[in-house]
Structure formats: structure tokens, C-alpha cells
Amino acid sequence: MTIRPGLGPAGWPWVARILFVGLLGAALVCLPQSVLAQDEESPPRDALFEWESTKRLLYVQVSYRDVIDNTIRRKLSRGLPTTIVLTAAVYRPGRAQPVATTAQTCKITWHVWKEVYLVEITRPGVHRVDKTLTINGVLRRCAEVRSKQVTRRLLAANSSQLPVGAPVYMQAKVQVNPVSQEVLQKIKRWVSRPTGTGTAAPGDALFSTFTGLFLQRIGEAERSLEFSTKTAVPRVAKPEKKK
């Protein structure tokens, strides 16, 4: 009696096994870079959390330029409209519920006649349109936030949401050209609403909507990046000297 090998790859003839391995490798190579990147857990990245001198508002400084790969950079160089969306939640260590949430949208278009990039930025308390001549200028405005530069500050929380001196970290999601324009418009309306700080926290009617929809399942995008920051105790900015 002849015993037939099993149906798994180990029991296939050697030619079939070679073909199987080759096809599997080709399939992995054909996967989009964004899909492969999402499967890899990146280590917590550096971020600077800083209270303003009055200890009322907390700002964050972090870079996420790595979301812009060569494909997105080529699209920008060709003048194709591009939108970069950051959604984030601020946590205290050991607590499952975030203390605050924040977001930033950045819409980039190429002005043919003036030959400049128009960058429309919306974040809590801010809606502005900047101009820049270079892709690097676009990345400075749309792929990083700086706590020291007033025009590029991203509000993370306020003193009613987080006590001064408490350690924090942030979980964030960055997406390039999200498919869901409806969700994108919701984010813009959310950060543009007339509140004291623009951030949402537990007790806010929009808080559960933001954490459940915007941060976790905003929709498909051409490229996405998820990261957490290192835990840190926010520093307090020195009062500005009067001129």
C-alpha cells in the first residue's frame, strides 16, 4: 500500500515547494509598504510636553516625518493635492481612559500660477493658510509640531484635564489622504468648535465619538502610521521676558 504525503507544503514534491515559496515571496513583495509598516510595532518615540508659563495649557512637540515615503513625496513634487491627518489621545500611565484628545489636519495644494504650496492647517484653536516654496517647508508644517513656535503649536491638554507635574504619554495615528471625507470634515469641525481650549476630555459630548471613531477607525488611507510617545513629566516654559 502506498502512503500519500499530507496536503501541506511539507508533503509536496520539491518542485511544488519551490514554486510555493516563490509565490509567497512575490505576494509579500507586492504588499503596499503601508500595510507592512503597520504590522511592525515601532518603539515609543521622543516627544516634548511643555506647559505654558501660566501652567494652564499643555503643548506637545513631536515629529512624524516618516509617514511621508518616496511615493507621497513624488506626489507632492508633482503638485497633487495631499491631506495629512493626525489624531491623538493623551494618557496618564496606568490608566486606560485618555485624559484629553487632539487633532491636526493639513491640506496641501499646489498653486500653479504663483508656483507655491498652499498649506491649510486646522488644529485646536487654529485655522490658517501658509505658503511655502519647498517640500521641506510642507513637512515642517504638516509632519511635525513644535511647542516653542506659536504658529506650529499643538494643544494637547489643559490644567483641568491634567494636573501639572503628572507624567503623560500620547498615542497617535497619522494618515495620508484618508478615504473618508466625511470623517475628515468631522475632525475639522471638531477642532474648530468654539471652546476654551479645543481639546476634548471625559465628560465632553464629543469625547467618546473622537476616541471611538477618529482615533481608532478613521478609514482607509494611502499611508498610515501609528505610534506612542515615551512617558515624560511635562516641563514648564519660562515666562517670556518683557521687551
Is residue 50 in some structural domain?
yes
Is residue 25 in some structural domain?
no
Q: What is the pLDDT of residues 31-77, one digit of tens each?
A: 344 433 444 567 899 999 999 999 999 999 999 999 999 999 988 88
Is residue 228 in some structural domain?
yes
Query: For the chain, how many structural domains are there in total?
Result: 1
Cell 507635574 belongs to residue: 165
Domain that holds residue 177: 43-236
Using a cut of 0.75, tell me whether the model's pTM lies above it: no
| CA angle, residues 58, 193, 184, in degrees to nearest 5 | 95
Q: What is the pLDDT of residues 113-169, one digit of tens each?
A: 888 999 999 888 888 899 999 999 999 999 998 866 666 789 999 998 899 999 999
Is residue 156 in some structural domain?
yes
Nearest to 179 by CA among 139, 118, 223: 223
77: amino acid identity, one letter? S
Is residue 243 in some structural domain?
no
Is residue 16 in some structural domain?
no
Is residue 186 in some structural domain?
yes
Compute the distance between CA of residue 210 and CA of residue 161 in angstroms, rounded to an integer.
16
Is residue 32 in some structural domain?
no
**Torsions phi, psi for 9 (to 5 deg):** -55, -35
